[in-house]
Copies of this chain bind each other. A is one copy, B any other.
Amino acid sequence: MQTFTEENYLKTIYKLSEGSAPVSTNQLAAILNTKAASVTDMLKKLSEKKLIDYTRYYGVTLTEVGKKIAVDVVRRHRLWEYFLVEKLNFKWDEVHDMAEELEHISSTELVDRLDQFMDYPAYDPHGDPIPDKHGRIKHHEFKPISQLDVDESGVISGVREHSPPFLQYLEKLNLMLGNQIRVIEILAYDQSVVLTVNQSENKISISKEAAKNILVTS
């Protein structure tokens, strides 16, 4: 059994180590809103418990056991987010903080029943894949809008940035999951993208930054 704190560290290491690259102390401190010294303390502890491989001054990676726990926390987080949106009618910008608490409820049986209750959803409200009970994850073929050419289209399937203001902004522009967009123009001087949503007449313009954070499938 892990404490909430340990689970949060494991989850964060997992998310930062895209493809098993070692994660640094400062990266963790920044995301976990704590100090580097505290991170070092916790890394020693998790290393003791064989949940991570940690080398001083070098970085940290998850062991198989640690990774399993991390994926399970991610599973719980995303299933609860799905529940909050689909069953309790919260909006996609409202659910993250609640899921941060709910992800630490320990019962495996509870999460599996929740999964069944919702008919085994594959993606959470932000388009992130939900690991199944064995930790298997489906990967979308995502591409940010910023990588589309003029006249290319795609279906919005995920976001790279989860902050409520960004999600609310997308909602205002009708840039929500499932909607189809088509790139009309890419402005030369700042790479901002002009596009249409769901074949509408209406052209909208988004910054290069925003375009990088909206993911589409084709």
Q: A residues near B, CB below 8 A?
A: 84, 87-90, 97-98, 101-102, 105-107, 110, 113-114, 117
Interface SS, A side: helix
Selected from B90, B97, B105, B113, the residue in CB contact (under 8 A) with A102 is B105
Q: Are B105 and A90 closer than 8 Å at their CB atoms?
A: no
List 13 A–B pairs whose Cβ atoms lie within 8 Å, in order of A's numbering.
A84-B110, A88-B110, A88-B113, A88-B117, A89-B113, A90-B113, A97-B107, A98-B105, A98-B107, A98-B110, A101-B105, A101-B106, A105-B105
A97 partner residues in chain B, CB cutoff 8 A: 107
CA distance A113 to B84 in the complex (A): 9
Which residue of chain B has the shortest Cβ distance to A90 in the bound complex? B113
The interface residues of chain B lying within 8 Å CB-to-CB of A87 are 117
How far apart sit A26 and B84, CA to CA, in the bound complex (Å)? 41
A89 / chain B contacts, CB cutoff of 8 Å:
113
- Nearest B-chain residue to A107, judged by Cβ: B98
Residues from chain B with a CB closer than 8 A to the CB of A117 are 87-88
Q: How far is the CB of A10 from chain B (nearest CB, A)?
A: 19
Task: Give the residue among A89, A110, A117 with the most B Cβ atoms within 10 A.
Answer: A110
